[in-house]
Amino acid sequence: MNRKHTGFSLVELMVVLAIAAIIATIAVPSFRSTLQNNRLASQANDFVATLHLARGEAVKQGRRTTVCVSDNQTSCSGTDWAKGWLAWADTNGDAAMQTSEIIRVHEALGGATLTSLEAVASIQYLPSGFLNIPAGSSRGFQLSASGCTGNEVRTITVIPTGRANISRSACP
């Protein structure tokens, strides 16, 4: 019996590997950008969800609630929003946060910066759900990743009525 062996030659395998390497070289940077963009969208949504929760709790409890910078995740401390934040409801009306009043804590953002456009360290909601700010003003935040490219900056704007929205803009 004469069996004929079929398969790939070494040259054919090397050509396939070279083509795969070229395709991977083209696809990986695009994939990195997609991952970074999705991470920023998720982080922006986390921040806005905390703002919505604080606003809802202010209305539900009829008390002031605050979202503030927290670099230790146990108290309002620091000035860098990227190190984390927390939301608390002033349930006893003393205008001072106790650990029992914390309603949400968010840890530090990895590889991203979140800055307040007005350099504020907290946002306070009134029992009506409105922001405790002068009429006609608003609060804004910018979220961007290190090595930002394209339209990956998220701008979060909180208007006096307490509603927050997210928009995309170009990297600086």
Displacement of CA 12 from its chain's centroid (Å): 47
Q: Is-contact 47 151, C-beta < 8 A?
A: no
Q: Is 89 domain-assigned?
A: yes
Q: How many domains does the chain have?
A: 1
Q: Which residue type sits at 49?
A: A
Burial 49-79 (b: 16+ CB within 10 A, else e): ebbebbbebbbeeebbbbbbbbbeeeebebe
pTM of this structure: 0.82
The alpha-helical segments, DSSP class H, found in 62-107 are: none
Residue 3 has a pLDDT of 67
Q: Is 137 domain-assigned?
A: yes
Q: Is 113 domain-assigned?
A: yes
Q: Is 95 domain-assigned?
A: yes
The CATH number covering residue 86 comes to: 3.55.40.10
Domain that includes residue 102, residue range: 11-169
Q: What tens-digit pLDDT sequence spans the chain (172 residues)?
A: 566 767 778 888 899 999 999 888 887 777 777 888 888 999 999 999 999 999 999 999 999 999 999 999 999 998 999 999 999 999 998 989 999 999 999 999 988 999 999 999 999 999 999 999 887 788 999 999 887 777 789 999 999 999 999 999 887 7
Phi, psi of 124 (to 5 degrees): -120, 135
DSSP strand pairing (153-158 vs 139-145): antiparallel
